[in-house]
């Protein structure tokens, strides 16, 4: 744990961190107990006033320094991310590049919005809006993009002058530990950044702590709901970035090779363990047979393997428990009558037998009432539904409790715009899938979450707006005459 500027042992016991490729123990980490969490929050609270008073340019310079250090250590950090999550080294490297750009972006906009003057219509009054940090922020992250998700939180939180207590997923804590080391090396003052490790119990203690002012959480919907309930007791500010069940809509006028290619990357990158994965492929009727045949054939050819092996196109699932969950969904799909056209099994290769591997899986003939269509499987599982009109495509796409992301493929730009505007989701790609930039907001409609990360809104989440009214010519009001 990192507490008030020092690395110390946690009191919650030592826990193995496993490599999902072969179940080997990468290392052990210390988990925190309630007392550790309390100490971390106390350190963050104690450091708050001084850090909030640091000039914004100095805070921005610190973020820029962190970006430089991440660039310096990119290769070792990417390797650690691959060992911990199983994702390919190529993907881990891209994650580190993205994280660097997030730190640089928030360094660049930290001082861009100093507030504003308000015209009250009264010449003897100066009325201003100033922005102040919210306070102590608890930053809680999931296992699929550990470094990326914490960067989206910690960079704007520090830019805005908050102090933080970070709690990464117990499944993949390693690159978050590394990032905290780099924050310390960059010169973050003691107590401004604190790190506690542990399971959801540690997270829950953090969420309930009365000295925490803001929670920024990324993870599953069920956990998000628990956090929203728990945070209500102390009226904390809460941002939740939750799951998705994202539609990828393909009209028949699209370029065939391109949509096949993107249908696969939309869902099978990182073995489907992506909140914005295009897990529901909606295909126009006339294209259906050809598209399904080609997507299924190519899914069968995807090379799964060790993320450190450059030949691997995707890695294992993150844990045994997660693979169990995905296998249960495949069984549910079969029993509900979906037609399995690819995958549906673990790989045969004996070299992968110790890892948590599962083959890319495609179900055709899916209906909106099936569990594999409604629920986030978070695995390499693509469902295919068919539509015959634009309105049917939109209705199917929006028939979900989620609203994180989605895509539409068509050469008809007017239709693309109509569908993009009609989708109830926080991110819509037209003729593309997956790209994001730190300058553009990210977040969910409906049960995919509240609030936004990235972009200027991602900074605003960590600020309070304060109105300061100054009467420059005070004189008795004489409201009460006596
Ligand atoms: P999870 O909800 O199980 O856990 C997320 C984090 O919350 C972990 O650090 C966990 O220890 C902690 N936690 C668990 N119970 C808690 C509690 N009661 N109080 C406080 N903290 C608690 O999610 P996961 O399985 O780690 O991640 C997968 C989920 O994350 C998927 O649903 C995915 O869609 C979502 N996700 C969303 C986004 C997004 O941007 N919207 C990005 C990545 C992942």
Beta-carbon contacts of residue 316 (< 8 Å; ≥ 6 apart): 20, 21, 86, 271, 304, 307, 323, 352, 355, 356, 357, 358
Report the SS3 class of residue 166: strand
Look at residue 448 and give its three-state secondary structure.
helix
Q: Which residues pair with 385 in a beta bridge?
A: 282
Q: What is the pLDDT of residues 182-204, one digit of tens each?
A: 999 999 999 999 999 999 999 99
Distance 143 CA to ligand 1 centre (A): 7
Counting from 1 in the atom list of ligand 1, the atom nearest the Cα of 448 is 41
Of 241, 327, 453, 461, the active-site residue reads 241
Ligand 1 contact via 426 beta carbon (within 6 Å): no
Residues in the chain: 482
The span from the CA of 185 to the CA of 163, in Å, is 17
Residue 215 host element (H or E): strand 214-218
Dist CA 375 CA 333 (whole Å) = 11
- The protein residue with its alpha carbon nearest to ligand 1, atom 22, reads 200
Mean pLDDT of the chain: 98
If phi > 0 it is left, if psi is from -120 to 50 it is alpha, else beta; for residue 463 that is beta
Per-residue pLDDT tens digits for 129-170: 999 999 999 999 999 999 999 999 999 999 999 999 999 999
Distances (CA, A) of 73 to 76, 179, 279, 362, 385: 6, 10, 34, 38, 44
Q: Which residue has the tokens 């693979």?
A: 323
Q: Which residues pair with 430 in a beta bridge?
A: 408
**How many Cα atoms within 13 Å fall on the side-chain side of residue 268?**
28
Indicate if 241 belongs to the active site. Answer: yes
Pick the closest to residue 357 from 19, 6, 9 (CA basis): 19
Determine whether the shortest distance from the Cβ of 223 to ligand 1 is under 6 A. Answer: yes
What is the gyration radius of the CA atoms in the chain, in angstroms? 24
Q: Which of 71, 47, 52, 60 has the alpha carbon at shortest distance from 193?
A: 47
338 three-state secondary structure: coil
Using most ligand atoms within 8 A of CB, pick from 140, 142, 173 the residue to mutate for ligand 1: 142
> Ligand 1 centroid to 291 CA: how many Å?
34
- Residue given tokens 């994965």 in the structure block: 277
- The yes-or-no answer on residue 275 being catalytic is yes
User: Following DSSP, what letter does each residue of 101-153 receive, concatenated?
Assistant: HHHHHHHHHTTS---EEE--S-TTEEEEEEEEE--EEEEE--SSSHHHHHHHH
Give residue 432 CA to ligand 1 midpoint distance, Å.
Answer: 26
Compute the distance between CA of residue 330 and CA of residue 340 in angstroms, rounded to an integer: 9
Ligand 1 geometric centre to CA of 257 (Å)? 35
pLDDT in tens, the chain (482 residues): 999 999 999 999 999 999 999 999 999 999 999 999 999 999 999 999 999 999 999 999 999 999 999 999 999 999 999 999 999 999 999 999 999 999 999 999 999 999 999 999 999 999 999 999 999 999 999 999 999 999 999 999 999 999 999 999 999 999 999 999 999 999 999 999 999 999 999 999 999 999 999 999 999 999 999 999 999 999 999 999 999 999 999 999 999 999 999 999 999 999 999 999 999 999 999 999 999 999 999 999 999 999 999 999 999 999 999 999 999 999 999 999 999 999 999 999 999 999 999 999 999 999 999 999 999 999 999 999 999 999 999 999 999 999 999 999 999 999 999 999 999 999 999 999 999 999 999 999 999 999 999 999 999 999 999 999 999 999 999 999 98
User: Residue 74, Cβ neighbours under 10 Å: how many?
Assistant: 17
If you take atom 14 of ligand 1, which residue's CA is the nearest one? 200
Q: Tell the residue number behind the tokens 């960590």, with chain if given.
A: 462
Whether the model pTM is above 0.85: yes
Beta carbon of 227 within 6 Å of any ligand 1 atom: yes
3 state SS of 328: helix
Q: Is 170 in the pocket of ligand 1 (CB under 6 A)?
A: yes
Q: Is 469 exposed, middle or buried (0-12, 13-18, 19+ CB in 10 A)?
A: exposed
Atom of ligand 1 nearest to the CA of 444: 41
228 lines ligand 1 (CB under 6 A): no
Choosing from 275, 284, 313, 385, the catalytic residue is: 275
């Amino acid at each position: 744990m990192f507490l008030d500027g020092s690395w110390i042992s946690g009191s919650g016991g030592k826990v193995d961190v496993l490599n999902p490729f072969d179940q080997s123990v990468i290392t052990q980490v210390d988990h925190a107990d309630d007392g550790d969490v309390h100490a971390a929050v106390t350190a963050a609270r104690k450091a708050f006033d001084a850090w909030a008073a640091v000039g914004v340019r100095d805070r921005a310079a610190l973020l820029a320094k962190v970006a430089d250090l991440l660039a310096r250590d990119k290769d070792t950090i990417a390797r650690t991310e691959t060992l911990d999550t199983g994702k390919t080294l190529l993907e881990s490297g891209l994650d580190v590049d993205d994280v660097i750009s997030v730190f640089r972006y928030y360094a660049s906009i930290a001082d861009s919005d100093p507030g504003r003057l308000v015209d009250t219509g009264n010449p003897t009054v100066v009325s201003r809006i100033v922005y102040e940090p919210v306070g102590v922020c608890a930053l809680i992250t999931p296992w699929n993009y550990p470094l990326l998700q914490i960067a989206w939180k910690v960079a704007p939180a520090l830019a805005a002058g908050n102090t933080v207590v970070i709690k990464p997923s117990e499944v993949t804590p390693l690159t978050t530990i590394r990032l905290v080391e780099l924050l310390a090396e960059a010169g973050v003052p003691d107590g401004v950044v604190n790190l506690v490790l542990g399971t959801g119990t540690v997270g829950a203690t953090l969420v309930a702590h009365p000295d925490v002012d803001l929670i920024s959480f990324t993870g599953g919907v069920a956990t998000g709901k628990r956090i929203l309930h728990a945070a209500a007791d102390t009226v904390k500010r809460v941002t939740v970035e939750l799951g998705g069940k994202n539609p990828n809509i393909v009209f028949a006028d699209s370029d065939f090779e391109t949509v096949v290619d993107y249908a696969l990357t939309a869902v099978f990158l990182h073995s489907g363990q992506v909140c914005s994965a295009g897990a529901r492929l909606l295909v126009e009727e006339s294209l259906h047979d050809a598209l399904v045949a080609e997507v299924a054939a190519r899914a069968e050819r995807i090379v799964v393997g060790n993320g450190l092996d450059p030949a691997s196109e995707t890695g294992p699932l993150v844990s045994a428990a997660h693979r169990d969950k995905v296998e249960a969904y495949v069984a549910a799909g079969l029993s509900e009558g979906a037609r399995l056209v690819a995958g549906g099994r673990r790989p045969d290769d004996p070299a992968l037998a110790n890892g948590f591997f599962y083959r890319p899986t495609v179900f055709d003939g899916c209906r909106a009432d099936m569990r594999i269509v409604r629920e986030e499987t978070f695995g390499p599982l693509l469902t295919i539904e068919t539509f015959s009109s634009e309105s049917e495509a939109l209705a199917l796409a929006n028939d979900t409790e989620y609203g994180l992301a989605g895509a539409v493929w068509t050469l008809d730009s007017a239709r693309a715009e109509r569908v993009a505007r009609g989708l109830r989701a926080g991110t819509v790609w037209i003729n593309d899938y997956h790209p994001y930039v730190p300058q553009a907001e990210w977040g969910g409609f409906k049960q995919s979450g509240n609030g936004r990360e990235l972009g200027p809104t991602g900074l605003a989440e960590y600020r309070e707006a304060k109105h300061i009214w100054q009467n420059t010519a005070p004189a008795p009001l004489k409201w009460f005459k006596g």
